[in-house]
Chain A
Amino acid sequence: MVRYLDQDGELLDDQPMSDELALEGYRVMLRGRRFDERCVSLQRQGRMVTLAPGIGQEAATVGAAMALDPKTDWFVPQYRELAGQLWHGYPLRLAFLWHVGHPIAFQVPDDLKMLPFQAAIAGQLPQAVGLAWGLRLKHDPGVVLAVFGDGGTSQGDFHEALNLAGVMKAPVMFLCQNNGWAISTTVEHQTASASLAQKALAYGFPGVQCDGNDLFAVYATVRDAVARARAGEGPTLIEAMTYRLGLHTTADDPTRYEPREMHEMWVDRDPLRRMQIHLVSRGVVDRSGLERIEDEVKEELRVAWDEAQKEPAPDPAYYFGRAYASTSQRLGSQLSRFERKGLG
């Protein structure tokens, strides 16, 4: 298993990125963490819809995103990698709007190479492969990062996607966030495989396990996979070993299934804490610097949430005219009825 930073924040190898970049990565991890905490709180106040926080998994998603070039490379998410998406350029304001149920959150900004969030587990993977295959066919330098979870590896779409990716040598990195749980189901109930990474062997390309709570390990592993993909050598499956410290969603109650001691063990492996210890011990930042970053992130969130609240509610007729490029006679008459009565 690839690891650079042990759980006490001790560096085991040369740091694979500059100190500035490491600090910036930490900042985005923190932004993801505080965003999720804020949203869970807002959801508890009835101000947000059901949401799936990524608490505890920030190193896995930010580390992977840091290995991409956002000018050429695509980020294809499931729904628990917002921290990584923030690094890739998804705006915080839209992230808040996602959790209030505003459709604009799915309208990925034009200059951003990212597909919308995906609720169907592993449903994005065949699309990511098609996208990667299509980029290669165009001689486009871009590569595709497709993110999913341990539960996703049980889906037919996972198997079909990885199989085709291997055949087509598609420039795609499959990042599996193994966070230990698919809602309440453990990985042992998901598969009899010794690891999820080993599944890549069956598809004819490398599978690598890395410490998913170690920003440097994820970054270096994905960076190498990106290099392979760009060189035309095809896909890589990366299993980032992490842990869901929060809830599956705000509708979930982990106390029904999660052993207390397991939770506590993983609290000790918190990726944020690990980075804090490392950055301070290396002299990149001191304790007051960390507090300043905390304050700055808090302020960013406040501003973004304010902006999000200013977003006008969608026009009630929003969905007409977006299912097809042009409106058929039948849909047109449904729209005129809607406009007369204000009802669907």
Chain B
Amino acid sequence: MAELTIVEAINTALAIEMERDERVLVFGEDVGVTGGVFRATDGLFQRYGDARVIDTPLAEGVIAGAAIGLAIAGWVPVAEIQFLGFAHNGFNQVVDQLARARYRSAGRFSAQVTIRAPYGGGVRAPELHSDAFEAHFTHAPGLKVVAPATPADAKGLLLSSIRDPDPVMFLEPLRGYRQVKGEVPDGDYPVELGSARVAREGTDVTVIAWSAAVQVAQQAAEDAQAQGISVEVIDLRTLVPLDVAAIAASVTKTGRAVVVQEAPLTSGFAGEVVATIQEEAFFSLQAPIRRVAAPDVPYPVQMLEEHYVPNAERVLEAIIATTRD
């Protein structure tokens, strides 16, 4: 066990996998000599050389598209998109091509590809560097979408993502990169995709979150406890495939649910979670399910962002409200 930040945990996972599997290639913008703008790939270029750790041109489309071809040639590409907000420059290659590589060829080809991208707000980054665009990718059959919240999960889920035979969008919590520290098991430590985690046990209300919103939910749970409300926090960890059973089990137990997302409300992934709850646990519900989300406007510039990203106060408000419904 070592105490690591999320970005250190990611770096550790990449190093483990490059060492274990010689087919693993790491590439993207500035991932080589400088080790990534957040140092997620620090030291890999020096250790594994320019054939396996490659600085590419500044072009997300061909980063994602070339990953498909590299996978067909027998490599295991781990591509970095510097910020998820720029993944749309390569949206066709990710959603229309990468996600369907297996399907459209009826299994002749597949794409064991991981695309890593930091995302989410709260670090005072410029425009388009902070948007929580996860739902743009959860609606693309063929992709898996992973969004860890802790250093241990960042390491464990990244190891599993790289080894997964299907393409994975691995969304890293930008705000947590250095802010969130935690104990991370040493050595090979894969964490299964598609399995949620009970981040905190409770009995009155279930709060469901993923990525950086998990810490927000945990803070709100702490604050609710002070008011005598016992909150269970479910960290989804993987959005696709979704751990339906874990969501159903928790809400069946508590009868109340709040879903937190950083993205704007309309058509966000929280809506998918709410629909899942009403399908799986409708008769256990004692109150309407509430969503805490950003408003339906684009992410603002720096001076306004703390008024935009859902915080613990808003989550607590929703928790209290749901106990009064």
Contact = CB atoms under 8 A, between A and B. Distances in A.
Contacts of B57: 160, 163-164, 167
B226 interface: no
Given A126-B93, A164-B56, A330-B244, A107 B65 contact: no
A127 B69 contact: yes
A7 to B, nearest CB: 37
A126 B69 contact: yes
Interface string B213-249: 0000000000000000000000000001110110000
Nearest to A129: B66
A132 B75 CA distance: 12
Contacts, number: 140
Nearest to B55: A167
A128 B102 contact: no
Contacts of A156: 61, 89
Interface in B106-157: 106-110, 141-142, 144
Contact of A126 (B51, B61, B165): B61
A130 interface: yes
B66 A323 contact: no
B75 A134 contact: yes
Interface residues of B, number: 47
A130 B194 CA distance: 29
Contacts of B67: 130
Given A130-B65, A131-B72, A157-B92, A329 B245 contact: yes
A160 B106 contact: no
B315 to A, nearest CB: 26
B73 A123 contact: no
B96 to A, nearest CB: 6
Given A116-B108, A130-B68, A325-B102, 9 more contacts: A123-B65, A126-B65, A127-B68, A130-B69, A140-B73, A164-B56, A322-B107, A324-B102, A325-B165
Return the 9 tightest CB-CB contacts between A and B, nearest first.
A126-B65, A130-B69, A134-B73, A130-B66, A131-B69, A328-B241, A107-B106, A160-B62, A325-B165
18 contacts: A107-B107, A126-B65, A128-B69, A129-B66, A130-B67, A133-B70, A133-B73, A134-B74, A140-B73, A156-B89, A160-B57, A163-B59, A324-B142, A324-B166, A325-B164, A328-B241, A329-B245, A330-B242
